[in-house]
Amino acid sequence: MAVGILEVNLISGKGLKRSDFLNKIDPYVEIQYKGQTRKSSVVKDGGRNPTWDEKLKWRVEFPGSGTDYKLIIKVMDHDTFTADDFIGEATVYVKELLEMGVEKGKMELRPTKYNVVDSDLSFVGEILIGLSYSVVQEKGMEGEEFGGWKQSQF
């Protein structure tokens, strides 16, 4: 099993559907991978075409438990006085990225547009993200040399 860092380069959104008719939307993104959630900053008055330009990271074991190698990207509208509104979500499957990253030590996918859909699967905009996975060397006993009986002196 390899341990690495999965990095999402959250770049921007385009044509996001308004959920708030009175004001501009203040979008942010929650990205979930296997129960771990990361949240972007809120783009105040970001409107339908926000720019985040943020990197979000996860520590990932591959192959790990389960088979759901996917990112669930929820686009939300921050509201000050009421609950935040769900704009839509995109799902990005990352199994092949992780496989290639383990094989080569690092794998990167250039920024790609993903469709954002609401709860009834209607198109509500796009999100632009880049992805990378890098294997990290864990400090531990593998490859370590310890004095044994052969090095002992009598």
Q: How far apart are CA 145 and CA 154, in angstroms?
A: 20
- Predicted confidence band of residue 18 (pLDDT cuts 50, 70, 90): confident
Residue ranges of alpha helices (H) inside the chain are 95-104
pLDDT at res. 79: 85
Tens of pLDDT, residue by residue over 94-144, are: 999 999 999 999 999 999 999 999 999 999 999 999 999 999 976 544 544
Mean pLDDT, residues 79-88 = 89
The pTM score is 0.84
Q: What is the sign, positive or negative, of the torsion defined by CA atoms of 24, 19, 57, 6?
A: negative
Mean pLDDT, residues 3-23 = 86
Tens of pLDDT, residue by residue over 45-77, are: 778 899 999 999 999 998 877 788 999 999 999
The position carrying tokens 């591959």 is 62
**Residues comprising the chain, all counted:** 154
Q: How far apart are CA 131 and CA 45, in angstroms?
A: 26
Strands 36-39 and 70-77: what pairing?
Answer: unpaired
Query: Residue 128 corresponds to which tokens in the numbers above?
Result: 């632009």
Which residues are paired to 75 by β-bridges? 29, 88
Residue 117's nearest CA partner among 10, 16, 26 is: 16
DSSP string, 100-116: HHHHHSEEEEEEEEEEE
Q: What percent of the chain has pLDDT over 90?
A: 68
pLDDT at res. 120: 93
What's at 27, amino acid-wise?
P
What's at 74, amino acid-wise?
K
Q: Which H or E run contains 140?
A: none
Which residue did the predictor score with more confidence, 91 or 151?
Answer: 91
